[in-house]
Amino acid sequence: MPDKAILIPAALLVCWTMVMAVWMLVHRAGTFSAMKTGLGKLPVGARGPDLWARLPEGRNDWPAHNYMHLMEQPTIYYAAVVILSIGGPTGYDMVLAWAYLVLRVIHSVYQAKVNVVKIRATLFILSTLVMLILSVRSLLSVLN
C-alpha cells in the first residue's frame, strides 16, 4: 500500500505552484496597466520574452520566471515522491521531501521579490542537491 504521507509536501508544492500562477497573473495585469496596453494590443503569438523587452522602467516579470521554473525541476520531484510512496519512504526521505518543498517556496518568494542571482542560485543549488538525493533514494526504494 502506498505511503500517502510523503505525498503531502508534493501536494503542497502543487498548490504553491498555483499560488505563483495567480501571483504571475496579477503581476502581469499590473504590468499591462503600467504599459497602458492590453492583451489585444500584443502582437499575434507574443510570449513572455516578447513582453520583457517592452517593460517600463522599474517593472519586471520575475513571478513569471519563477512560475516557469516550477514547471521544470519539480516535475522530477513529483515522480520521485510517487515512486517513494510506492517503494516505502524512510523518515530520511520525508525530511528530504519537506526540505525540497521549503527550499522551492523560499526560492519562489525570493525570486519574485528580490532576485539577487547569487542568493537565488544558492537556493537552487541546495534544492537541486536535495532533489539529487531524493532521486537516488526513489531508485533504491524500488530496487529493495
Type of residue numbered 123: L
Q: Chain centroid to CA 100: how far?
A: 10
pLDDT (mean) for 8-23: 98
Q: Which range (36-45, 62-71, 120-129) has the least confidence?
A: 36-45
C-alpha to C-alpha distance for 101 and 106, rounded to whole angstroms: 9
Is residue 88 within 8 Å of 140, Cβ to Cβ? no
- pLDDT above 80 (res 47): no
Class assignment of domain 4-143?
A: mainly alpha
Cell of 1: 500500500
Q: Where are the domains of the chain?
A: 4-143
Is residue 137 within 8 Å of 96, Cβ to Cβ? yes
pLDDT in tens, 63-121: 999 999 999 999 999 999 999 999 999 999 999 999 999 999 999 999 999 999 999 99
The pLDDT > 90 percentage for the chain reads 74
